[in-house]
Structure 1
Amino acid sequence: MPQTNRENGVSPARLAPAEVQANFSDLHPAYDEHEALVAADRCYFCHDAPCMTACPTSIDIPLFIRQIATGTPEAAAKTILNQNILGGMCARVCPTETLCEEVCVREIAEGKPVEIGRLQRYATDTLMAKGVHPFVRAPETGKQIAVVGAGPAGLACAHRLAMLGHNVVVFEARAKGGGLNEFGIAAYKSTNDFAQKELDWLLAIGGIDIRYDQALGQSITLDGLQSDFDAVFLGMGLTAVNALRLEGEDKDNVSAAVDFIADLRQADDLAALPVGRRVVVIGGGMTAIDAGVQAKLLGAEDVTIVYRRGQEAMAASKFEQDLARQKGVRLICNATPVGIEGNGSLSAVTLAYTETRDGKLETLDETFTLPADQLFKAIGQKLGETPDLLALDGGKIAVDDAQKTNLAKVWAGGDCASGGDDLTVTAVAEGRDAAMDIHATLTGAS
Structure 2
Amino acid sequence: MTDPLPRRADIAPGRLPAETLAENFSDLHPALDAHDVRVEADRCYFCYDPPCMQACPTSIDIPQFIREIQTGNAIGAGKTILSANILGGMCARVCPTETLCEEVCVRETAEGKPVQIGLLQRHATDQVMATGVHPFRRAAPTGRRIAVVGAGPAGLSCAHRLAMLGHEVTIFDAQDKPGGLNEFGIAAYKATDDFARREVEFLLAIGGIVVETGKVLGRDIYLAGLCQNFDAVFLGLGLAGVNALNVEGEMASGSHDAVAWIAGLRQTDDLARLPIGRRVVVIGGGMTAIDAGVQAKALGAEEVTIAYRRGREAMNASPYEQEIAATRGVHLRFNLQPQRLLAEDGAIVGLELERTASVDGRLTSTGESVTIAADQVFKAIGQSFIPAGLGGGDAEIALEGGRIQVDAERRTSHPGVWAGGDCVAGGEDLTVVAVEDGKVAAMSIHAALTALDKVAAE
**Is the shorter-chain TM-score for this pair beyond 0.5, marking a shared fold?**
yes
2:247 counterpart residue number: 246
- The runs of 4+ residues in structure 1 deviating greater than 4 Å are none
Residues 212-249 of structure 1 show CA distances to partners (whole Å, capped at 9, x for unaligned) of: 00011111111111111110000010001000011211
**1: distance between equivalents of 2:231 and 2:135?**
27
Residues 124-164 of structure 1 show CA distances to partners (whole Å, capped at 9, x for unaligned) of: 00110010111000001111000000000000000000000
1:431 counterpart residue number: 438
Structure 1 residue identity aligned to 2:359 = R
The normalised TM-score by structure 1 is: 0.97
Query: In terms of mean alpha carbon deviation, does 63-72 or 250-259 score higher?
Result: 250-259
1:347 counterpart residue number: 349
Deviation at 1:8, TM superposition (A): 5.3
1:227 counterpart residue number: 228
SS at match of 2:220: coil
1:126 counterpart residue number: 127
1:40 counterpart residue number: 41
Structure 2 residue identity aligned to 1:163 = M
1:393 counterpart residue number: 400
Structure 2 residue identity aligned to 1:373 = D
1:419 counterpart residue number: 426
**2: distance between equivalents of 1:41 and 1:350?**
53
1:443 counterpart residue number: 450
**2: distance between equivalents of 1:437 and 1:35?**
40
Gaps of 5+ in 2: 1-7
2:94 counterpart residue number: 93
2:25 counterpart residue number: 24
**2: distance between equivalents of 1:385 and 1:52?**
34
**2: distance between equivalents of 1:359 and 1:395?**
24
CA-atom RMSD in angstroms: 1.1
**Matched ranges for 1:274-285 at <5 A:** 274-285=275-286
1:167 counterpart residue number: 168
Q: Is the 8 A contact 2:153 2:435 kept in 1?
A: yes
1:407 counterpart residue number: 414
- Count of aligned pairs between the two proteins: 440
SS at match of 2:422: helix
Structure 2 residue identity aligned to 1:221 = Y
Deviation at 1:359, TM superposition (A): 2.1
Residues 256-308 of structure 1 show CA distances to partners (whole Å, capped at 9, x for unaligned) of: 10111111110101122111100000100000000000000000011000111
Deviation at 1:407, TM superposition (A): 1.1
SS at match of 1:342: strand
2:267 counterpart residue number: 266
Structure 2 residue identity aligned to 1:173 = A
Q: Is the 8 A contact 2:343 2:349 kept in 1?
A: yes
Deviation at 1:348, TM superposition (A): 0.5
2:4 counterpart residue number: none
**Matched ranges for 1:351-390 at <5 A:** 351-386=353-388, 387-388=390-391, 389-390=396-397
**1: distance between equivalents of 2:180 and 2:198?**
14
Are 1:113 and 2:114 an aligned pair? Answer: yes
**Matched ranges for 1:66-77 at <5 A:** 66-77=67-78
Deviation at 1:363, TM superposition (A): 2.0
Structure 1 residue identity aligned to 2:339 = V
Are 1:328 and 2:329 an aligned pair? Answer: yes
1:312 counterpart residue number: 313
Gaps of 5+ in 1: 1-6
SS at match of 1:44: coil
Structure 2 residue identity aligned to 1:110 = E
**2: distance between equivalents of 1:414 and 1:31?**
30
2:5 counterpart residue number: none
**2: distance between equivalents of 1:392 and 1:268?**
39
2:157 counterpart residue number: 156
**2: distance between equivalents of 1:284 and 1:207?**
41
Residues 20-48 of structure 1 show CA distances to partners (whole Å, capped at 9, x for unaligned) of: 00000000000122221111000000111
